[in-house]
Structure 1
Amino acid sequence: MEIVVKGRNTEVSDRFRGHVEEKLQKIEQFAPRAQRVDVEVTHEPNPAQAETSERIEITIRDKGPVIRAEAAASDRYGALDLAMGKLIERLRRVRDRRKEHPRRENVAEPLNLTPEDVNIPQQKVERDEKRVPSEPGEAVETQLGDSPVVVRQKLYEAAPMSIDQALYEMELVGHPFYLFIDEETKQPCAVYHRHGWTYGVIRLDAEVQ
């Protein structure tokens, strides 16, 4: 299992890398087929956010769904412990679901949207002649006219799935929404959290001219 630790707006010491690798050994109990684990450490320099200045995001990739967990605390060791707690709980869900539905192990990979993908970048970027991504994983950023607004587009591969599977995938990556293709209607859809245990589904129906 490959472990990749990287920092955003911060340096990651060898001591902390070793601590992360030691903590992640637990993962093999729940995900023995995991091929790679990405750990991103982010530091928020704003003193007003001191209580959540250290953020840890852990992403596991194996032959099944991608699983992600993140947490923030005043120090990165505490943030790592919180993120690991969420991750282990999600790994347990995957293990239990595989026992109940053994034929559904090879599910489509979730879209893996990150804050970078859904938020408009703060910095200004040069205009790109290519306005639409054409290959999976490719991202294209374009500027709207002469305004400072930048739109980032990224292309993902997606296989049709049920609403139940989409909700399950959404919970595993810890996002408030999840985009997918409904296997029954073939419509582009999005499931999202509403409140409590209530969820919503948005469907798109392309109008044929």
Structure 2
Amino acid sequence: MEIVVKGRNTEIADRFRNHVEDKLAKIEQFAPRAQRVEVELTHERNPRQADQAEKIEITVRDKGPVIRAEAKASDRYGAFDIASGKLLERLRRSRDRRKNHHRYATPAPVDEAPVATSEETSQDQMPERPVPPTEPGQSVEAQLGDSPVIVRQKLHEARPMTVDQALYEMELVGHPFFLFIDDETGQPCVVYHRHGWTYGVIRLNTVVAGTDTTNHVPEQVTAGANG
């Protein structure tokens, strides 16, 4: 298993690198097929954010779903310990799921959220799009026009999956949303956290230029949806 440690806006000392490698050796107990573990340390230079100056993101690349955890703290060792704790818990859950051959527990009711049509989005408000990445796993950062806004894009490989599997993989990476392709409809979809333990789904229809989008975007609001 390869462990890669890299820094953004900071240098990685050998002492910290050794600490990371020693602690992440436990990964093989939960994911013996893990091929690569990426650890990225980002230092925030803004003194107003000193209590969260060090951000750690850990990503495990296996033959199954990507598993990720991140944390922030005032020092890198504290941030790493928090992130690694989250990661090992997610790895344990993933291992137990495979071992028991059980499907992911049925989540709370899923609400379908409405999708904005082209009439609801003014082209004048759309920013200039930076050149997207072309290789899976590649990240590209670019300044948005003349503004100080930096847009970071990353390309991921996607395989069709069910909503159930998408919710499971969203929990593994610890994100509030997860983009995927529905294997039944072929639609790009997003699952996301709503209130408490409920979830939502946003679905997109492919619209051909020049057609009336109101004929292609189905009504997707269910009763009581307020997210």
TM over 0.5: yes
Deviations 1:182-204 (A, max 9, x none): 11111110001112111110001
**Does the CA contact (< 8 Å) of 1:131 and 1:141 recur in 2?**
no
CA separation in 1, counterparts of 2:143 and 2:14? 39
Residue-by-residue CA offset, 1:12-33 (whole Å, 9 max, x unaligned): 1101111111111111111111
Corresponding residue number in structure 1 for 2:194: 194
Aligned-pair RMSD on alpha carbons? 2.7
- Alignment partner, residue 97 of structure 1: 97
8 Å CA contact 2:56, 2:76 repeated in 1: yes
Question: Partner residue of 2:169?
Answer: 169
Q: Distance in 2 between matches of 1:49 and 1:146?
A: 26
**What is the identity, as a one-letter code, of the residue corresponding to 2:91?**
L
Give the counterpart letter for 1:46 in structure 2.
N
Give the conservation status (yes or no) of the 8 Å contact 1:69–1:83. Answer: yes
Q: How does 1:1-209 map to 2 (within 5 A)?
A: 1-101=1-101, 131=131, 133-138=133-138, 153-207=153-207, 209=211
TM-score normalised per structure 1:
0.78
Sort the Cα spacing of 1:14 and 1:31 in 2 relative to 1 into closer, same or farther, 3 A. Answer: same
Give the alignment's TM-score, normalised by structure 2: 0.72
| SS at 1:195 equivalent | coil
Shift of 1:100: 2.7
Q: Deviations over 1:29-53 (max 9, x none)?
A: 1111111111111111222211111
- State the Cα distance separating 1:103 from its structure 2 match: 10
- Secondary structure at the counterpart of residue 26 of structure 2: helix
Look up the SS of the partner of 2:79 in the other structure: helix
Q: Which structure carries more relative contact order (alpha carbon 8 Å, separation 6+)?
A: 2
**C-alpha distance in structure 2 between counterparts of 1:84 and 1:133, whole Å:** 29
Q: CA deviation at 1:77?
A: 1.0
CA distance in 1, matches of 2:147, 2:56: 33
Percent identical among aligned pairs is 76
Q: Distance in 2 between matches of 1:45 and 1:135?
A: 30
Aligned residues: 186
- For 2:83, give the aligned amino acid: A
CA deviations over 1:122-179 (Å, ceiling 9, x no partner): xxxxx99x94555544556677666666655544321110001001111111111111
User: For the structure 1 residues 160 and 3, does the alpha-carbon distance in structure 2 shift closer, same or farther, using more than 3 Å as the test?
Assistant: same
Aligned equivalent of 1:108: none
CA shift for structure 1 position 206: 2.0
Q: Distance in 2 between matches of 1:30 and 1:154?
A: 27
Task: Quote how far apart the aligned CAs of 1:94 are.
Answer: 0.4
Give secondary structure in 2 for the equivalent of 1:69.
strand
Whichever residue aligns with residue 187 of structure 1, its letter is Q
Q: Give the whole-Å Cα distance in 1 for the aligned partners of 2:81 and 2:145.
A: 45
Structure 1 residues 29 and 138 mapped into 2: Cα distance closer, same or farther (>3 Å)?
A: closer
Contact residue 177 and residue 192 of structure 1 kept, 8 A: yes
Give the distance between the partners of 2:180 and 2:6, measured in 1 at CA: 29
Change (3 A) 1:147 1:47: closer
The letter of the residue matching 1:5 is V
Instruction: Point out the structure with max Rg over C-alpha.
Output: 2
